[in-house]
């Protein structure tokens, strides 16, 4: 969870808002500034694209930072919305709040939109802002403005310049993004062939959601006459266990270089690269305890 109280005041909140919206792809027309603002904290623009044409769309952004008091943003805090949009030539309204918008304010904005007095509105409250960090590309904004929350939330870092997903081999769900939202992540499944008198060879490596997808993959692998073993992908999100798995694989390749088929080896290397987007970060006490637990389980042969 992010803690918006890390941001000390309204000016810092406006700077955070600017950087957050820029990371989402919007262009700042009027940045935050000291002094009277005429009901405007920022003016940002985006390009709306249709199937045949596109046009610019301008948003008036109102920032409210009430995290310390915890009070919601109400109609008394957002007055004369249509006048403010007209004054600044804006098409829509964005409320960027560290707490929630009141039901009355949301109802008012819906009425203005339905009456076509504003084209659109968006509310970025604390929950929606946090959900935005689950996508790649915003981790730098989180680290700059909310460093303690950055360590706690553990966002994805597109280390190679472009996000690389980890799709489930059965349903296609991105297992890497699921790791940030605390969902049940999934398994890495190893399909192994045992020959008479030969060393076992891992012929293929698969990534699946736990449950139905895992069961379907197990069935497909067994139909090929192979056996399965699995590991919990969420363990690889712990940097200490991640390093342990890599060094273990490196040692195995030294002692038994033919234990993985070429395709399985290539897939596993790509898996380590993909998981590094989630894993290469600062460790905490929870990570170290999980490593100790993993070592104890391995010692028991689990």
Q: Kindly list the strands in the beta sheet with 120-124, ordered across the sheet, starting from the edge strand earlier in the chain.
A: 27-30, 42-49, 54-64, 92-97, 120-124
Residue in the structure block whose two tokens are 């349903």: 171
Q: Are 85 and 43 in contact (CB under 8 A)?
A: no
Could you list the pLDDT tens digit for every one of the 302 residues in the chain?
A: 788 999 999 999 999 999 999 988 899 998 887 655 555 689 999 988 877 778 899 999 999 999 999 999 999 999 999 999 999 999 999 999 999 999 999 999 999 999 999 999 999 998 899 888 766 567 778 878 888 877 666 667 766 667 888 999 999 998 887 766 656 679 999 999 987 667 889 999 999 999 999 999 999 999 999 999 999 998 888 888 999 999 999 999 999 988 999 999 999 999 998 888 878 765 567 777 887 888 887 776 55
Burial class (CB in 10 A: 0-12, 13-18, 19+), 50: exposed
- Residue 244 and residue 251: Cα distance in Å, rounded? 11
**DSSP conformational letter for 101:** B
Residue 207's beta-bridge partner residues?
188
> What domains are there in the chain, each with its CATH number?
4-153 (3.40.1350.10), 175-299 (no CATH)
């Amino acid at each position: 969870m992010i803690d918006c109280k890390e941001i000390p005041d309204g000016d810092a909140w406006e700077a955070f808002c600017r950087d957050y919206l820029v990371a989402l792809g919007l262009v700042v027309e009027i940045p935050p500034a000291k002094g009277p603002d005429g009901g405007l904290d920022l003016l940002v623009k985006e390009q709306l694209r249709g199937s045949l044409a596109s046009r610019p769309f301008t948003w008036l952004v109102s920032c409210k930072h009430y995290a310390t008091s915890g009070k919601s943003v109400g109609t008394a805090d957002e007055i004369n919305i249509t006048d403010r949009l007209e004054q600044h030539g804006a098409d829509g309204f964005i409320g960027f709040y560290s707490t929630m918008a009141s039901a009355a304010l949301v109802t008012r904005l819906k009425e203005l939109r339905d009456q076509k007095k504003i084209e659109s509105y968006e509310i970025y409250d604390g929950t929606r802002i946090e959900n935005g960090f689950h996508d790649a590309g915003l981790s730098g904004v989180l680290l700059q403005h909310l460093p303690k929350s950055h360590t706690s939330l553990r966002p994805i870092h597109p280390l190679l310049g472009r996000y690389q997903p980890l799709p489930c081999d059965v349903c296609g769900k991105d297992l890497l993004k699921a790791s940030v939202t605390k969902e049940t992540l999934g398994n890495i499944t190893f399909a192994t062939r045992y020959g008479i008198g030969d060393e076992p060879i891992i012929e293929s490596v698969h990534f699946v959601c736990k449950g139905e997808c895992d069961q379907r993959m197990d069935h497909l692998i067994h139909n090929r006459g192979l056996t399965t073993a699995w590991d919990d992908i969420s363990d690889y999100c712990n940097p200490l266990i991640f390093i342990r798995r890599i060094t273990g694989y490196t040692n195995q390749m030294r002692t038994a270089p033919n234990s993985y088929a070429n395709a399985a080896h290539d897939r596993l290397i790509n898996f380590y690269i993909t998981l590094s987007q989630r894993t290469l970060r600062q460790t905490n006490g929870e990570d170290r305890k999980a490593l100790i637990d993993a070592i104890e389980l391995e010692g028991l042969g689990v």
